[in-house]
Structure 1
Amino acid sequence: MAAENARQVEARVPPQDTEAEEAVLGAMLINPNAIPVVTDVLSRDDFWRESHAIVFDAVRGLYADNNEVDVVTVSAELERQGKLERVGGRDFVHALAEAVPAATAAGHYAEIVREHSALRALIQVGNEIAEMGYKRPDDVAQLLDRAEQRLFAVAQQRRVSDFLPIRQIVHESFDRIQSSQEGKAHEGVQTGFKDIDDLILGLFPSNLIVLAARPSMGKTSLALNIAHNVGVDQKVPTAIFSLEMSGLELGDRFLSGAARVSTHKFRNPRLLRQDEMDKLVRASAQLTEAPIFVDDSAGLTMFELRSKARRLHDKHGLGLLIIDYLQLMVGDTRAENRQQEVAGISRSLKQLARELKVPVLAVSQLNRGPEKQTGGGPRKPQLSDLRECLAGDTLVTVSSTGERVPIRDLAGETDIPVWTLHPDLRIGSRLMTNVWRTGTRPVMRLRLASGRTITATANHPFLTVAGWARVEALRERDHIAVARRTPSPAEPLDFADDEVVLPARVAEKVPDERFRHLAESDVLWDRIVAIEHAGETDVYDARVPGTHSFLADDVVSHNSGAIEQDADLVLFIHRDPTDETKKGVVDIVVAKHRNGPVGTRPLAFVEEYTQFRTMARSDDREPF
């Protein structure tokens, strides 16, 4: 019975309405005003018959080039393309013009065609999902995400992106420039802080924005201030995924800032004066009308975030998505280490921003590098604080030749074959896709029992028996992985037994399969004998997709966490508590701006209400 039903399903003709398709094309041929109405609704993929799709393309091309569109010009264009006979000749084009019942109903006909196209797409997606399910994939969560993404695309009537003619792209770019010149609003969502918005022109759709700072700098407060300005003042639907604070805590923060009443009094309401209660009532009424949505799920996975964001966007049309904060999220895949997991999350957030066409603001915890004192106060954070980097004289072996090259000499190069460590602890060759200088940073030097040294930033991870660990977490007598052997043409490394801990020796004492696996691997475990500050120097980073590692001075080194590289805009919060002249003032450092200039802008910070304000503001408005 099941087989018979399957054959019946396969024998069915997919939903289509060729008469509606003919009516749409006929309306476009006899009424030029119908063309923009139809092209706003349909693409060539919406047509069931290939001949109809070909005619649609010809009409759209002529119209885009400001040419006349009628039976004669379309026939001539099809003949020029060598497709006239393929669609049925001039008689076919004439028949389309005569088939339209009412040219003014083109929009209605287009909706009929689109509905049938959506049904066909739904059937296709259903078949694809069923096929994927029958293959019994190892990662069911990933399959569910792919299935939801495909269904979401159908619901949104979106198709897989195809090549766009340059004329269309240029027209859209010019329209945007012209709108800005005429004084219309910035394209990006406004943060509500004038000095910052004037610099970055707002938070652009499809962009990943990283807001980073060390602990207690006000990352969450600034993100919530932006959410208030966007959701309350601009009425733009805003979603907040809070992985650190509960929804109740966020509510207190919103009320405190909007009413300018200290949250300390929330815990003891008897301290509240009547005028403060009146402010809270007004702020509460204002906030309850705002299109702000909060999810405070702890341990949120990327799969769950995508799913919730898609549904919310489908229902309310999101304008801004905020995640607080990035390092508390859980990745979709079984990453070998946390660095790879966070890198995967940042890439997924960038993809989500592009899919939903909304700005995604990800709050990120900064490593402790910016706390290092320079001239009496903590230095300003830099892009390289989001990266783990190596000193420029670190030697990288080119696997194709065996040549050992300083990483600084590889900067700007692409697709360099290098030695990498695979998950099975075997060394093999893989392409290092790019190398770049990240700035001047304080560095640490590791001295190993073998006599080798390697210099890196404090946040750079090296491989230990327990997994990847940053330099700042390593201690003397810890062991890190070095290459025992590499395939030719490089020479095998030679270590004396008393210089390193041989994995075979560990395996003899610990009857565990994992240690047996280590014993048979291509790595040895070299003991750290000293960890020293090595001043400041130019540092470099690299990317090796897939394995995310390479041999640096024959030490197994992790490549970039990729947060900064995925981001379109990077904002840092910097505050110097030792500078009395800047008390109550923080600097917002625009360190990376893919769409414009970088720079620093000050904001006032009212700690009592955890509220940021534009320095130039002279009014006494209650909102942020």
Structure 2
Amino acid sequence: MTSMTPQNPAGEGSLFDGDPVMVPAQDRQGIPETFGGAASEGFDRVPPQDRDAEESVLGGMQLSKDAITEVVEILKGHEFYKPAHETIYRVITDMYGEGEPVDPITLAAELTKRGEITKVGGAAYLHTLVQSVPTAANASYYAEIVRDKWKLRQAIEAGTTVTAMGYAQDADPAEVIEASAARLLALQASFDMGKDPAGWDAPMQDRIEEWEDDQAAGEDPGLPMPWEDLQSMLGTVPGHLVVLAGRPGMGKSVALLDIMRHLAVVHGRPAAFVSLEMARRQIMNRLIAAEAEIPQHDIRKRALDQAQWKKYDKVRDRIVTAPLRLIVPPGGITVPQIRSNLRRWQIEDRLPAALAVDYLQIIKPDVQGRGGNRTNEVDAIARGLKELALEFDLPVFAAAQLSRQTTGRDSKVPQLSDLRESGEIEQAADAVILLHREDYYEPESERAGEIDLIVAKNREGNTGIVTCGFRGRFSKIEAMGQDY
């Protein structure tokens, strides 16, 4: 099919419809001429479109129910360049969904009923659409053309937005680059959805076969963790959000880093630790202290003796070759920024087996959330982390702060209600582990050196308490009974 000369009547559609986008002469310096015609003429190209393909899609859908079924797998409606075509498409799919027959006569009647028949060109135009397509058999082919043209328009819109950001007088280069990368990576993600990703039409036969295959694969112990009892209780798998909560200084960062260190150093699986509290040097001090069992105090003072250097030499290669990434974002980070980096890793086939964030309440709220109250911001962050776990099919571990309510009670044992600033943290998490140490409050306690990992919520199994040894000077938590 030969595409018709693109029509561009004023007032049609969104940013790329109507009059061409023009850039003032004083703002065009440095813009390549190939970006949209000669620089002296501005951006005067008509956005990509194929009107013949759009007409053929709609004509085919009026001829055959099978064509409608095929097209709705490819298009959602917003991909049409001409607004009238999107209107017609949406009415066709509404009628089809209600079990109504679709042809030029019934379609015209429905459009008339909705007061939109004149907007789409009248009943005569619906007959023209049918007459323009020889057969409904190629409707899906034409739908793919429509979708591809829409993708190109989206790419142009993203590029235009990025260009406008760069030309802003007060633009911060780092912010522009970060926002540009996030925009483009999000665009790619929207193109990679595939057919029926949510499973709207997947029959139970498919689901039961998936389940049987999983069972036949044998026991799945979940993500390897340094504490066998906790690993067995949680059975953490991709898609889970696990929250480790405690008061400041209780050991949240130690626990998170232990999980990531065990995964990467012991099991050789990629892990990423995002710290919003510590500098990279502090994290390295803790990592080496835990792995080599050298007191943090000596490392911080840079006062290692010969024996300690020998301990370090024994573990150095293990640490160097471990697929562990230590990320300390300057100026903090938002959930969308985490998503853009995960998307980049996904494209490069470098997604980690697990992600840890230290800690949840100091993740920066998204720009769109500014002006809201703190509870809403934390709610959005908690939901965002859960969405990341599902979107990228990996477990996400996040530390969270508990409120001061704990310290005001006779019993200092934390409760789920102590989660600070948000009930959504508990709601979004698949598991919540509350950290408690008696010697945090009573240094001379008979349980000094112990830490309780209280599984207060667990969607995948039982709740309970796993008691471990807390070796604070080595920044390490170990299973009870382990030889110290």
TM-score normalised by structure 2 residue count: 0.63
Query: 1:322: which partner in 2?
Result: 356
Whether 1:357 and 2:393 are equivalent positions in the alignment is yes
1:283 aligns with 2:299: no
Partner SS for 1:191: coil
d(CA) in 2 for partners of 1:279 and 1:117? 64
Question: What are the superposed Cα offsets for residues 342-396 of structure 1, whole Å, 9 maximum, x if unpaired?
Answer: 222222222222222222111111111222343xxx43211111166xxxxxxxx
Alignment of 1:192 with 2:226, yes or no, is yes
Name 1:331's counterpart in structure 2: 365
Give the residue type in structure 2 aligned to 1:342.
V
The answer to whether the 8 A contact 1:153-1:159 is kept is no
Indicate the structure with greater helix content. 2
DSSP 3-state at the match of 1:227 = helix
Do the aligned residues in 2 keep the contact of 1:225 with 1:611 (CA within 8 Å)?
yes
Q: Which residue of 2 aligns with 1:54?
A: 70
Query: Against the structure 1 CA distance between its residues 260 and 168, is the aligned structure 2 distance closer, same or farther, given a 3 Å change threshold?
Result: farther
Percent of paired sites with the same residue? 26
Quote the Cα distance in structure 1 between the aligned partners of 2:355 and 2:149.
Answer: 32
CA contact (8 A) 2:186 2:340 kept: no
Change in 2 beyond 3 A, CA 1:146/1:221: closer
- In the superposition, relative to structure 1, how do residues 12 and 239 fare at CA in structure 2: closer, same or farther (>3 Å)? same
- Is the 2:468–2:480 Cα contact (8 Å) retained in structure 1? yes
Alignment deviations for residues 62-94 of structure 1 (CA, whole Å, 9 cap, x no partner): xxxxxxxxxxxxxxxxxxxx99xx9969xx79x
Quickly say closer, same or farther: Cα 1:208–1:125, change in 2 above 3 A. farther
Residue 611 (structure 1) aligned to one of 473, 476, 482? 476
Query: Which residue in the other structure is 1:158 paired with?
Result: 193
TM-fit CA distance, 1:253 = 0.8
Task: Say if 1:238 and 1:319, in contact at 8 Å, map to a contact too.
Answer: yes
What's the offset of the Cα at 1:586? 1.1
Please point out which of 228, 242, 258 is paired with 1:209.
242
Aligned equivalent of 2:430, options 568, 571, 592 = 568
Which residue in the other structure is 2:291 paired with?
Answer: 258
Contact 2:274 2:357 in 1 (8 A): yes
Q: Which residue number corresponds to residue 504 of structure 1?
A: none
- Over 3 Å counting, the alpha-carbon distance change for 1:231 and 1:326 in structure 2 is same
Distance 1:335 1:561 in 2: 20
Residues 124, 181 of structure 1: CA spacing in aligned structure 2 closer, same or farther, 3 A cutoff? same
CA contact (8 A) 1:223 1:363 kept: yes
Shift in Å, 1:336: 3.0
- Compared CA separation, residues 567 and 277, structure 1 to 2 (3 A): same
Note the C-alpha offset of 1:56: 12
- On the 8 A contact 1:213/1:574 being kept in 2, the answer is yes
Structure 1 residue runs of 5 or longer lacking an equivalent are 17-49, 58-81, 94-113, 389-559
Alpha-carbon distance between aligned partners in 2 of 1:117 and 1:300, rounded to the nearest angstrom: 41
Q: Quote the offset at 1:338 in angstroms.
A: 2.8
> Partner of 1:183 in structure 2?
218
Question: Please, which runs of 5 or more residues in structure 2 have no aligned partner?
Answer: 1-19, 23-35, 38-42, 54-65, 74-100, 103-132, 139-143, 166-174
Determine if the alignment matches structure 1 residue 587 to structure 2 residue 449: no
Change (3 A) 1:159 1:174: closer
SS of equivalent to 1:267: helix
CA distance in 2: counterparts of 1:603 and 1:310, whole angstroms:
36
* Residues 258 and 477, structure 2, Cα contact 8 Å, conserved in 1: yes
* Separation of aligned partners in 2, 1:313 and 1:209: 21
Aligned residue for 2:438, secondary structure, equals: coil
**Structure 2 CA distance for partners of 1:170 and 1:597, relative to 1, 3 Å:** farther
Q: State the Cα distance separating 1:146 from its structure 2 match.
A: 7.0
**Helix, strand or coil at the partner of 2:418:** helix
Read off the aligned partner of 1:150 and give its amino acid letter. Answer: A
The 8 Å contact of residues 340 and 561 in structure 1, kept in 2 or not, is answered as no
- Report how far residue 278 of structure 1 moved: 2.1
Do the aligned residues in 1 keep the contact of 2:433 with 2:455 (CA within 8 Å)? yes
Partner of 2:364, secondary structure, is coil
Q: 1:167 Cα deviation (Å)? A: 5.1
Q: How many residues align?
A: 361
Cα distance in 2 between the residues matched to 1:387 and 1:586: 21
Deviation of 1:270 (Å): 4.4
Residues 325 and 51 of structure 1: CA distance in aligned 2, closer, same or farther (over 3 Å): same
* Cα shift at 1:261: 1.1
Give the letter for the 1:158 counterpart.
M
Change (3 A) 1:253 1:240: same
Q: Do the aligned partners of 2:276 and 2:332 also contact (CA within 8 Å) in 1?
A: yes
